[in-house]
């Protein structure tokens, strides 16, 4: 009798367990049915993936971007009244790295400035359009990325004009600043480009040498330690490892209280007399002119 009681109990337990199990399976066919019935419905639940987890957010700034032509010919940083910095990305657009970077920036409400190569603009006009649509600024980085300081004025102007036109064709906007490839531009060239195109030459105050691929954490620590108010920061969105370094870099700067603005916003904030010029490239350019 004892054995049969135990048997009965064990049967009852197994029935109870069994009765729980089927309750787990019905959602499968139900969800399949729901999915098939929603095939043609808009997917309103979709949200852009935030691949790096929750991120701090750059504040909405809405700052003016109209800088005066008289504010200066060359800038590597700008004297600003607060913790404002400009992130700049050179040599794109790149088919996969630039869209990935745009996702990273969008997740943090960060607006940056992209010094694009005209040839790449012609290859990827959709990426350029997206860049503008998401509030970023485009800058001129020439059409084929030559060393401008080694070229005559006709070639220099043609390189700049062709890039300008490519940007206009792709995105319907004109760039307002120039970054010379390799930073190579004589002082005389800077002055003539400024008077002809209205472009100030934009150098940089923070250079992590990311193109040498020193490693993601090195890029981040170099940028974070060298950045101060008014810094123009140089990065290359051509390289996957540079883009890999951006989430941690941007988040660290945001946590330190920095606010990201475009180059034009930074220049507009600086006013006319307060723009400071990086002495090194100017001195180099002067000596090249002298020679
Ligand atoms: Zn470049």
**262 vs 86: CA distance, rounded Å:** 5
Task: List phi, psi (to 5°) of 117.
Answer: -90, 130
Contact 84, 230 (CB under 8 A): yes
Cβ neighbours of 87 (radius 10 Å): 29
**Structure pTM?**
0.77
Give domain status of residue 128, yes or no: yes
In a domain, 245, yes or no: yes
What's CA 128's distance to the chain center, in Å? 12
Catalytically active residues are 90, 236
Q: How far is the CA of 238 from the centre of ligand 1 (A)?
A: 9
On the 0-12 / 13-18 / 19+ scale of CB atoms within 10 A, 122 is middle
**In this structure, is residue 231 part of a structural domain?**
yes
Residue 285 lies in a domain: yes
Radius of gyration in angstroms for the set of CA atoms belonging to the chain, rounded to a whole number:
27
CA of 105 from ligand 1 middle (Å) equals: 21
Please count the structural domains in the chain: 1
> Cα of 141 to ligand 1 centre, how many Å?
7
What is the C-alpha separation between 231 and 279, in angstroms, rounded?
Answer: 15
DSSP per-residue letters across 194-220: HHHH-PPEE--SB---GGG---HHHHH
For residues 5 and 1, give the distance between their C-alpha atoms in angstroms, rounded to a whole number.
6
Reading the chain (291 residues) residue by residue, the pLDDT tens digits are 455 555 445 544 444 444 333 333 334 344 343 434 444 445 455 444 455 557 799 999 889 999 988 889 999 999 999 999 999 999 999 999 999 999 999 999 999 999 999 999 999 999 999 999 999 999 999 999 999 999 999 999 999 999 999 999 999 999 999 999 999 999 999 999 999 999 999 999 999 999 999 999 999 999 999 999 999 999 999 999 999 999 999 999 999 999 999 999 999 998 543 344 443 333 333 333 222
Write out the two tokens for 169. Answer: 């064709």
Q: Is residue 9 situated within a structural domain?
A: no
Q: Which 3 state secondary structure label does DSSP give 140?
A: strand
User: Do 64 and 212 touch, CB atoms closer than 8 A?
Assistant: no
What's the gap in Å between 28 CA and the centre of ligand 1? Answer: 53
Q: What phi, psi does 184 have (nearest 5°)?
A: -95, 100
| CB contact at 8 A, 199 and 175 | yes
Provide the residues around ligand 1 (an ion) whose CB is within 5 A.
Answer: 90-91, 181
Distance in Å, CA 240 to ligand 1 centroid: 15
Q: Which residue has the tokens 């970077």?
A: 101
Q: Which two tokens stand for residue 43?
A: 């997917």
Q: How many residues does the chain have?
A: 291
pLDDT at 52: 53
Classify residue 272: in a domain, yes or no: yes
Domain of 263, CATH number, reads 3.20.20.370
Determine the structural domain holding residue 161 and report its residue range: 69-290
**Does residue 49 fall inside a structural domain?**
no
Cα 187 versus chain centre, distance:
29
Is 60 within the bounds of a domain?
Answer: no
Distance 154 CA to ligand 1 centre (A): 20
């Amino acid at each position: 009798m004892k054995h049969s009681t135990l048997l009965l109990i064990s049967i009852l337990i197994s029935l109870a367990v069994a009765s729980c199990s089927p309750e787990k399976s019905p959602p499968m066919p139900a969800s399949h049915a729901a999915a098939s019935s929603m095939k043609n419905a808009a997917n309103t639940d979709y949200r852009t993936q935030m691949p790096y987890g929750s991120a701090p957010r750059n504040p909405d700034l809405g700052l003016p971007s109209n800088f005066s032509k008289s504010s200066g010919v060359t800038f590597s940083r700008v004297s600003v009244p607060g913790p404002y910095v400009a992130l700049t990305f050179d040599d794109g657009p790149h088919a996969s790295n630039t869209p990935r970077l745009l996702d990273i920036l969008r997740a943090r409400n960060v607006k940056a400035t992209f010094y694009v190569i005209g040839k790449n603009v012609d290859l990827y006009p959709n990426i350029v359009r997206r860049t503008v649509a998401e509030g970023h600024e485009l800058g001129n980085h020439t059409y084929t990325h030559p060393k401008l300081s080694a070229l005559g004025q006709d070639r220099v102007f043609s390189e700049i004009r062709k890039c300008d036109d490519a940007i206009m064709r792709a995105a319907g906007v004109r760039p307002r600043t120039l970054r010379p490839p390799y930073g190579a531009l004589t002082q005389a060239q800077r002055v003539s480009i400024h008077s002809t195109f209205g472009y100030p030459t934009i150098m940089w105050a923070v250079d992590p040498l990311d193109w040498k691929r020193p490693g993601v954490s090195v890029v981040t620590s170099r940028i974070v330690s060298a950045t101060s108010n008014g810094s123009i920061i140089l990065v290359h969105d051509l390289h996957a490892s540079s883009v890999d370094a951006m989430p941690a870099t941007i988040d660290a700067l945001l946590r330190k209280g920095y606010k990201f603005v475009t180059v034009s916003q930074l220049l507009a904030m600086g006013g006319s007399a307060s723009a400071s010029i990086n002495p090194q490239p100017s001195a180099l350019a002067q000596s090249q002119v002298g020679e």
